[in-house]
Amino acid sequence: KAGVTQTPRYLIKTRGQQVTLSCSPISGHRSVSWYQQTPGQGLQFLFEYFSETQRNKGNFPGRFSGRQFSNSRSEMNVSTLELGDSALYLCASSDQGSGNTEAFFGQGTRLTVV
Amino acid sequence: AQRVTQPEKLLSVFKGAPVELKCNYSYSGSPELFWYVQYSRQRLQLLLRHISRESIKGFTADLNKGETSFHLKKPFAQEEDSAMYYCALTTSGTYKYIFGTGTRLKVLA
């Protein structure tokens, strides 16, 4: 099976712009989660989607949003970018059908805000 | 509040020496505990989880509910164990992971 795929791998944006990141989960996985990874804060949970519904949300401002499509692919959007949004954004998928809570991670999208 | 604490940012040991990476958690319910590992230039991947009680690559971790700890241990470190290790928990029935800040393990020749 192909692993979790995130696109693009690298992004440079200017403050105030918005950005959309994409995640394709492992085939058959219906749960997709997003994390922000920074040197100071480590990995922080953003949100989790299952069957196109957001089930859990972390403590991030409303500028961070996401969605999931019927094919389980997910997108994450950040509006009005701030310098502090520079981070590695990781997507993970899980096969909830098996009851297995293991998360399979993508390589991440490195976002730099200038 | 749910929290995972890894007190060591960096742990350096010599090859063949025992390794213990510490992890403490706070959660009022029954969490599921994991260790994830990230080798250089590779994606984050599961190393082991407490419910399976297995040994992976010589590593073991025992959940101590009294001390709310889930320390990762290996009796004899190998150079290929050098990596970033993250302790994490999920709350029952969810796929929301709470990660610790990670410990970088360096195994010296």
Region A77-96: mean pLDDT is 95
CA distance A13 to A63: 15
Q: Identify all chain A residues contacting B101, using CB atoms and an 8 Å cutoff.
A: 41-42
Closest CB to B99 among A3, A43, A101:
A43
pLDDT tier, A14 (very low <50, low <70, confident <90, very high otherwise) = very high
Q: How confident is the model at residue B27 (pLDDT cuts 50, 70, 90)?
A: confident
- Would you place residue B31 in the very low, low, confident or very high pLDDT band (cuts 50, 70, 90)? confident
pLDDT at B53: 75
Paired sense of beta strands B72-74 and B60-61, if any = antiparallel
B34: which 2 tokens?
């994991």
State the count of interchain CB pairs (< 8 A) between A and B: 56
Q: pLDDT value at position A95?
A: 86
Q: What is the pLDDT of residue A23?
A: 98
The pLDDT value recorded for residue B50 is 84
Range among A93-102, B49-58, B73-82 with highest mean pLDDT value = B73-82
CB A108 within 8 A of CB A6: yes
- Average pLDDT (B30-42) is 92
Show residues of chain B in contact with A29, CB under 8 Å.
none
Q: Which residue of A has its CA nearest to B42?
A: A107
Which chain B residues contact residue A39 at CB under 8 A?
none
pLDDT at B2: 86
Q: What is the structure's pLDDT at B101? A: 95
Q: What is the Cα–Cα distance from B49 to A60, expressed in whole angstroms?
A: 28
Burial B60-90 (b: 16+ CB within 10 A, else e): ebebeeeebbbbbebeebeeebbbebbbbbb
For A50-79, the pLDDT digits (tens) are: 999 999 899 999 999 999 999 999 999 999
Quick one: pLDDT at residue A74?
98
B102 with A42: Cβ contact below 8 A: yes
pLDDT of residue A29: 92
